[in-house]
Structure 1
Amino acid sequence: MTPMQKSELMAKIENADPVQGASLQGVDLSGARLSGAVFENVDFRGCAMAGASFADSILSKCRFDGASLQGAVMTGATFHESSACDVDLSESACVGFNAVQSRFDGSSFSKADLTEANFIKSSLAGARLAGARAVQLSLVETRTEAIDLSDLLFFKSVVVEADLSAADLRGCRIDQSVMSKVRLAGQRLAGADWQRSQFMEADLDGVDLSGAQLQQCNFKGAKLTDANLVKAKAANTLFIESRCERMDGSGADFFQSIWSDALLEDARFAGTRLEQAMLHRARCLRASFARANLVYADFSHADVSGADFDGASWERTKFHQARRIGVRLPAGASILYEDPELAAAEAWSPLDPPSQKR
């Protein structure tokens, strides 16, 4: 790697020549205009680059470890197989920034603008994104252990297969975002504001979301075993095929929620609003629905054996072909049991022989 001075670097940038195999380690590049350039195998370690601009530049196999890029302009820049660990990128402009197979472990993006930024198969372990702007941010197959996401708003963002179980999520809000297969097990997130977002196949075992705002979220296939959703606001939320054994949703609002094929064994819904909820084929063995609002709720084909319905509110609540071993439902209540015509329709197959007309 050849040592290079700032004057040589700027001459190459001015002539639109690629910068390759150069060492600028420790050079002061504060405020330098390095936009639209191509850098390959360049060493920027320890450089002072506050306010520098790498807008629309391509950086491949470069090293920035320990550099200062506070307030830098990284708009449209692309990092490929590069390393920028322990770098200060706070308050930087990273709109449309792209990182592929690159490392930012321990770096600070605090209060940075990460609008439409993409981190693909990269590492942000221990990085600090506190207070950053995360509109349409994508973190895909990127390491996030011990990441600081405090006071950050994920808006229309995508996070896939991230481990956030040890992340700092204090004050982190999630709105209209996709958090697919993320790991949040054991997190203490009481009062969290997560709305209109997707948590498909997420690991939320043992998480505390008591009092959280979860309206119109999707937890399809998610793990919520031993989770605390006491007094959560989760109207119009999907829990299809989710695992919710021993989950506590007491006093929560699950108006028009859908629990089809969910595992709800030993779950608690005491005093919960399940009005117009659909629990088709849900396994609710020994679950507690004591004092719950079950008006127009639908338990068709569910297994509620051993469940507690003491003091529940009823109004055309459906138990069509539900398994109810050991369950006492109040006589005279507005409850709908087996519907023969519906059962016949469900059993019909296009392969059935036509009926004989007389």
Structure 2
Amino acid sequence: MGGRDPARAGGVLGGDRRGAGGVAPVGLGAVLLSGLEPGARIEDQDLSAADWTDADLADAVFAGCRMDGVAFSNTVLQGARFERCRLTRCRFSHADLREAVFEDCSFADRDQGAVFAFTRLDEARFARCDLSRARFDGADLYAVVMDACNLMGAAFPRSSFSRAFGRNVVRAAATLTDCNLGLVELGGARLPGCDLSRSRLREADLSRADLEGANLAGADLFQAIIDETRLAGADLRGAEVSGLDIRRLATYRDLKITPDQQYRLLDAMGIDVQPE
């Protein structure tokens, strides 16, 4: 038959299209994924069975889709947008997610999170996403934005929030605001000048991390591991600092706190502050 495939008309897959009897054809998303072009819009599809290897779907929009156990190997999703999608048990390996946007998406499945291995996430944005227990292994995260996300137990081994600008200029940029970062593993991470305001970092591993000049205003650092952490010039105003022993820090010069916080810091050092 001539003409466009009706399932792809207008560059949209899903929506109100139905097969015989008004039921969506089984595997429709898997059948047509390879034929979609960058910029396509896919709605309300189960794409778990699709082959995403080497697929180029830059600027594509996925709304209300399910992708369970998918291997995104060398997949190009630069500038793509995911809205209300379930991406449980997925593994992104050498994928290109630069400038991609994820809103109200879930990556967690009970005790297993997503894996981002050697994936480019520069300037990607996550809003209100469940990324608990996610593992960012060797990922490029320069200027990533994570807002109001659940990252409980997430790990960032060998990942970088920095980018080189010329031979001798390296800059770090990241925004992790109002996130649940409890038990997160950020040991050795370089996040100088980055924004972690209002985030909950309870029992997080920040050992040897560089947070100099970072915005930690309103953050919760209760029982965070801060051995050899660099906090010089960081803004901790309004943060929960109970039990934070600054003697364990590598640097803390020009650390910004409020008057009431100084008593908690002194108490953590074993100094008994008495009223006059």
Which category describes the TM-score, using the shorter chain as reference length? 0.7 to 0.9
CA contact 2:203–2:221 (8 Å) conserved in 1: no
Is structure 2 residue 25 aligned with structure 1 residue 2? no
Match of 1:38? 56
Q: C-alpha distance in 1, partners of 2:181/2:69?
A: 24
Letter in 2 for 1:93: V
* Structure 2 gaps, min length 5: 1-9, 14-28, 162-171
Q: C-alpha distance in 1, partners of 2:143/2:47?
A: 29
Q: How does 1:141-290 map to 2 (within 5 A)?
A: 141-214=173-246, 215-226=248-259, 228=261, 249=266, 252=269
Could you tell me how far 1:205 is from its partner in structure 2? Answer: 2.9
**Closer, same or farther: CA 99–251 of 1 in aligned 2, 3 Å:** closer
CA contact 2:99–2:124 (8 Å) conserved in 1: yes
**Closer, same or farther: CA 2–118 of 1 in aligned 2, 3 Å:** same
Match of 1:66? 84
| CA deviation profile, 1:293-342 (whole Å, cap 9, x unmatched) | xxxxxxxxxxxxxxxxxxxxxxxxxxxxxxxxxxxxxxxxxxxxxxxxxx
Could you tell me how far 1:210 is from its partner in structure 2? Answer: 3.7
**1:38 match: secondary structure:** coil
Aligned-pair Cα RMSD in Å:
2.8
Instruction: Name the structure where helix makes up a greater proportion of residues.
Output: 2
Could you tell me how far 1:46 is from its partner in structure 2? Answer: 1.3
CA contact 2:44–2:65 (8 Å) conserved in 1: yes
Match of 1:233? none
Match of 1:305? none
Letter in 1 for 2:142: I
Q: C-alpha distance in 1, partners of 2:207/2:70?
A: 32
| CA deviation profile, 1:111-164 (whole Å, cap 9, x unmatched) | 111122233223211111111122233444333221110121212212243333
Question: Matched residues, percent identical?
Answer: 21
Q: Tell which deviates more after alignment, 52-61 or 83-92.
A: 52-61
Letter in 2 for 1:129: L
**1:89 match: secondary structure:** coil
Q: C-alpha distance in 2, partners of 1:102/1:121?
A: 7
* 85, 93, 107: which one aligns with 2:129: 107
Match of 2:3? none
**Greater relative CO, 1 or 2 (CA 8 Å, sep 6+):** 2
* 156, 165, 189: which one aligns with 1:134: 156
Could you tell me how far 1:250 is from its partner in structure 2? Answer: 5.0
Q: C-alpha distance in 2, partners of 1:171/1:68?
A: 28
Q: C-alpha distance in 1, partners of 2:118/2:205?
A: 21
Could you tell me how far 1:248 is from its partner in structure 2? Answer: 5.0
Match of 2:26? none
Match of 1:95? 117
**Closer, same or farther: CA 86–221 of 1 in aligned 2, 3 Å:** same
Match of 2:95? 77
Match of 1:123? 145
**Closer, same or farther: CA 65–193 of 1 in aligned 2, 3 Å:** same
CA contact 1:205–1:227 (8 Å) conserved in 2: no
CA contact 1:129–1:152 (8 Å) conserved in 2: yes
Could you tell me how far 1:31 is from its partner in structure 2? Answer: 4.4
Could you tell me how far 1:194 is from its partner in structure 2? Answer: 0.8
In terms of Rg, which structure is larger?
1
Q: C-alpha distance in 2, partners of 1:199/1:22?
A: 45
Q: How does 1:311-326 map to 2 (within 5 A)?
A: none
TM-score between the two structures when normalised by the length of structure 2: 0.74
Residues matched between the structures, number: 235
**2:83 match: secondary structure:** coil
